Structure 1
Amino acid sequence: MSDLWPRVAAVRDVRISVRLAALLFGALFAGTVHAAPGDNLKVVRELSSKVGPIVGSALACRDIARPRIQLIIEKFQGVIREASTLEADRDEVTRLLDRYVAEGRSMVTSGRIDCRAADRQLAGLEKSIASPPQTTSGLPEVRFGPPAAMAAIAPTQTLPPPMNVRGVTQSEIKFGIIIPFSGPVRETGRLMKLGIEAAFDRANESGGINGRMLKLVAADDGYDPNRTLDAMKQLYEKEQVFGFIGNFGTANAAMAIPYALERRTLFFGAYTGANVVRHDPPDRYVFNYRPSYAEETEALVHYLVKMRHLQPRQIAVFAQDDAYGDAGYAGVAKAFRTLGANDNAILRVNYTRNTVDVEPAVSQLKAQRIPIRAVIMVATTRAAAKFIEKAQEQLPGLIFANLSTVGASSLASELTLLGPRYTNGVIVTQVVPGVSGYSSLVLDYKNALAKYFPGEAPDYTSLEGYVSASILIEALKRVGPTFDTERLVDTLENIRNLDLGLGAQLGYGRAEHQASHKIWGTALDETGTYQAIELE
């Protein structure tokens, strides 16, 4: 009982704050406070102590829509401007508000209130703004302009009707993503979603897409393709999403794409380099950002043969025993044929999906008459880390070369725990530039990450999600306020030479639904930090 009382008291205090904030905010909104300019500023300082914690607690809850919070912030900024004529006063009140916002965040993170209570607080403010008290006053009325989301639209205009398009309303465009919330690759899936959300949040803060806010709804399939179809149905039929972005996994995509195609629904930027999303000619509704596994494995084979001077027979493949592994292996075989080598002689050792059972694969490598000197790895994070650990112990000196989908940061973390001899020299191809770099796109990404997800470290996977979403956002802006899937697809197919600041131009066409063919090389050093390497 003693532990319960502080929580009850906190909730009671919150309710009192909401009532007071609603009264003050509504009064200022309607121009009902009769006071001199100095007194107005005093009222706004008091208001910041009530509004700030409500905004902060809402910001700490990811399920509360950001446009709702942004609207409150923008209206309160209008109150500050109206109440203070001096820039110094405005700065002071803004700093005060920031402090109270931080306090509100801590109320949720410390468990003093929960997100349901935070949502109710926000709703109270919204209601007070929608229906302000009506009394007389000598204070000039405070009139608010449209929120940033509507800033580009004239006050007398409204958005064109959304043409009865699924997932599109006057205020919102809803996309779906299917990722593993559980299982051995859940962290990589989480990072993909994080990068997309960072790009969406950045766009929403700048006004959204012609006044409509972008929303991402996620479903979990646990990286199990047997669950993917149900997840697709959940998002399409129940959540009514407009399209899909960033779906995770090769075998999972093989289950999802037929469903999307039957419904003529956009399937954009999946986290796979397999041919299932790269048909020739391309499926009309399927678009990719990343290069293919064939391009990544070709880059690795050429690097090992041309730069490290290995014979093709000294290179093996460690692969997941499914469509993902098959796609990577096929890329290696194609690269061997390009070099004039016999692709039938490639040694492939496997492990079972969603496991770290790598001992049989290591034993197969040890049994080879001609020693293997390098292994191209088509694996997920934990399996790759376990394989490197076991193989390094039994076959020291091996070169380990991974595809980008291994999850670069997660792999580095796993290997760093084992010690410097396990990290040093491990190669990972990347489909985005180094996260430690200073290109304009990388800087935009890191600024967005710091603003919307403070504490999250820059990562290759979340950067890929950010880039994919940025391409989609550009297409949505170009298609205009009235659109449907067909118009968006036509717009995507006409994007040429798009420069996002990656160091490589992006684009699509009717016969080309892959935006990028650029691959970067990285290798871990003894500290577990990725350093750039030249692949050719």
Structure 2
Amino acid sequence: MTSRRIWLVLAAMLSSTAAGAGDNTDIVRDLAIRVGPVVGSALACRDIARPRIQAVVEKFAVVIRDASANEAERSDLSQVLDRSVNDGRAAVTAGRIDCKVADRQLADLERSIAGPSLSSVLGPSSAAAATSTASVTAGPLPRGITDKEIRFGIAAPFSGSARELGRQMKLGIDTAFNRVNDAGGVDGRMLKLFAADDGYEPSRTGEAMKQLTEKDQVFGIIGNVGTPTAAVAVPYSLERRMLFFGAFTGSNILRNDPPDRYVFNYRASYAEETDAVVRYLVKLRKLQPRQIAVFAQQDSYGDAGFAGVAKAFRALGVNDTAIVRLNYARNTVDVDEAVNHLKIQKPPIKAVVMVATYRAAARFIEKTRDLYPAMIYSNVSFVGSTALADELKLLGPRYANGVIVTQVVPAVAGYSSAVLEYKNALAKYFPGEAPDYVSLEGYVAANVLIQAIKRTGPQLDTEKLIDTLETTRNLDLGLGTQLGFGRSEHQASHKIWGTALDETARYQPLELE
């Protein structure tokens, strides 16, 4: 059925019956399923003027309002339309429809609705009829969105022993936001990032999230740092149906099955990082599993990394019950107990998988390197690669040389398109700041989100943005791996890169398999 006939036939059907609200709802739902793809395909075509599309959307918003008996019905119909719009976008992206056809279908629809609005056929109340179309469809903008800006928040450590992680994550996001803002923003809106310091202490995270939502009035959260803090921040966001995007953690707290609707991850998980390094140690370095221990923070971050190692052991057909765990307390460098525990192990440990932050990891290496000159140390990406290298460089070449860090972004010393773009932007907006794995991750995560905001269009709200994210496929940002989400897949990347420090404390590529 053509776009024009959709409207005319349904209008005739409605005018010939005294339909009740429930009947109207069913008809409008069917209409949304048919009209949404026309709108979506037009939105995916840059040459089609946005005011044309907006006029159709506004008229249909009135139809939805007048067909709905209550707010729940209105929300349901709006979601049906949004999903259908995304189907239309996807059809253009996948090449199932070209922009000439999309333009023709939109023109058909425009001619069909040039006369009296369908809402008048539905019989709006006198009060509703007295309200202008513009005021009804515009309504209040979602929190954190104005005609000129979109506000995002980050709760992270900007003080304390992990403060460099928060600073670098924010730096990367700001770099991406500055770059898009210089190009005019997204649909004329500037992206703005607000920060709240939780010191990497979950007891402070609730207040930091409250500051971002109530004082700073942010639209969504991006780049929060940490697993124990995420245990507080994620429920806070879910209760408010607020986007929680691109956190700097690989914990399964953010990776439920099926995924939480409002939580999206860019990075690979700790389970994937530790699996890669355990396989490297066993298959390439020829170690026995009993020769591998775990040095872990004594909280949910350490638990997540330890669980990843245990899972890797099981995948290799090895009993995971005898894995040695060496603990230290969060936000401290008190590693003496862990060192003493290491000393009593028989047979001697030959490799340590470290699930720590940079200062504690450096202190552990400092205290054990002389005792175990041939020890292999590996770290997950959360450690803070640059900060760890700086700490070890101060200790001397023998402390840095050979220390492994798994990464969830390509080498910052490399020449991939994404890395070159990041380094150029960093030099432009933050001259003097050195490229860093954490800020690169923040930059990449922010760019994934920016692409989704662009695809969603000017009528942005949380539900529409999430629907767009869930239909994002094969996104190529120049990383060497394609990114994407789905309704059952809220993690964009599963790629792990291997790196190892040389004696000058510079990272070199390391083949993990």
- Give the C-alpha shift of residue 442 in structure 1: 0.5
Pairing partner for 1:391 from 368, 375, 385? 368
Contact 1:178-1:218 within 8 A present in 2 as well: yes
TM-score (norm 2): 0.73
CA distance in 1, matches of 2:221, 2:154: 6
The aligned residue for residue 495 of structure 1 is 472
Pairing partner for 1:525 from 469, 483, 502? 502
The aligned residue for residue 288 of structure 1 is 265
**Secondary structure of 1:446's match?**
helix
Pairing partner for 2:288 from 305, 311, 334? 311
Contact 1:163-1:484 within 8 A present in 2 as well: no
- Give the C-alpha shift of residue 512 in structure 1: 0.2
- Give the C-alpha shift of residue 162 in structure 1: 7.5
The aligned residue for residue 430 of structure 1 is 407
1:56-455 to 2 correspondences below 5 Å: 161=138, 163-455=140-432
Contact 1:247-1:270 within 8 A present in 2 as well: yes
CA distance in 1, matches of 2:139, 2:412: 38
CA distance in 2, matches of 1:339, 1:369: 22
The aligned residue for residue 512 of structure 2 is 535
CA distance in 1, matches of 2:492, 2:474: 10
Contact 1:349-1:361 within 8 A present in 2 as well: yes
CA distance in 1, matches of 2:140, 2:174: 26
CA distance in 1, matches of 2:215, 2:166: 22
Runs in 1 of length 4+ with deviation above 4 angstroms? 160-163
**Secondary structure of 1:394's match?**
coil
* TM-aligned CA distance change 1:161 to 1:439, over 3 Å: farther
Give CA deviations for 1:362-413 in whole Å, capped at 9, x if unaligned.
Answer: 1111111201000000000100000000010222211000000000000000
Q: Which amino acid aligns with 1:252?
A: T
Greater Cα shift, 412-421 or 360-369: 360-369
CA distance in 2, matches of 1:197, 1:439: 21
CA distance in 1, matches of 2:385, 2:455: 33
Give CA deviations for 1:45-86 in whole Å, capped at 9, x if unaligned.
Answer: xxxxxxxxxxxxxxxxxxxxxxxxxxxxxxxxxxxxxxxxxx
Greater Cα shift, 359-368 or 419-428: 359-368
Contact 1:162-1:168 within 8 A present in 2 as well: no
State the percentage of identical aligned residues: 70
Gaps of 5+ in 1: 1-157
Q: Tell me how large the CA RMSD over aligned residues is.
A: 1.1
**Secondary structure of 2:369's match?**
helix
Do residues 463 (structure 1) and 440 (structure 2) align? yes
The aligned residue for residue 82 of structure 1 is none
CA distance in 1, matches of 2:255, 2:140: 30
Q: Which amino acid aligns with 2:503?
A: E
- Give the C-alpha shift of residue 161 in structure 1: 4.7
Contact 1:161-1:170 within 8 A present in 2 as well: no
The aligned residue for residue 488 of structure 2 is 511
Give CA deviations for 1:101-153 in whole Å, capped at 9, x if unaligned.
Answer: xxxxxxxxxxxxxxxxxxxxxxxxxxxxxxxxxxxxxxxxxxxxxxxxxxxxx
Give CA deviations for 1:259-314 in whole Å, capped at 9, x if unaligned.
Answer: 10011000000011001000000000000000000000000000000110000000
Q: Which amino acid aligns with 2:426?
A: L
Contact 1:162-1:482 within 8 A present in 2 as well: no
CA distance in 1, matches of 2:262, 2:346: 48
CA distance in 2, matches of 1:454, 1:204: 18
CA distance in 1, matches of 2:414, 2:265: 24
The aligned residue for residue 37 of structure 1 is none
The aligned residue for residue 29 of structure 2 is none
Q: Which amino acid aligns with 2:161?
A: P
TM-score (norm 1): 0.70
Contact 1:273-1:293 within 8 A present in 2 as well: yes
CA distance in 1, matches of 2:353, 2:305: 9
- Give the C-alpha shift of residue 164 in structure 1: 2.0
Q: Which amino acid aligns with 2:486?
A: G
Contact 2:422-2:440 within 8 A present in 1 as well: yes
Gaps of 5+ in 2: 1-133
CA distance in 1, matches of 2:370, 2:339: 10
Contact 1:294-1:330 within 8 A present in 2 as well: yes
CA distance in 2, matches of 1:242, 1:215: 10
CA distance in 1, matches of 2:171, 2:158: 12
Give CA deviations for 1:324-383 in whole Å, capped at 9, x if unaligned.
Answer: 000000000000000011100100010001100111111111111201000000000100
- Give the C-alpha shift of residue 233 in structure 1: 0.6
Contact 2:165-2:225 within 8 A present in 1 as well: no
CA distance in 1, matches of 2:178, 2:409: 20
CA distance in 1, matches of 2:449, 2:252: 21
CA distance in 2, matches of 1:369, 1:429: 28
Q: Which amino acid aligns with 1:342?
A: N
- Give the C-alpha shift of residue 179 in structure 1: 1.0
The aligned residue for residue 80 of structure 1 is none
Q: Which amino acid aligns with 2:471?
A: N
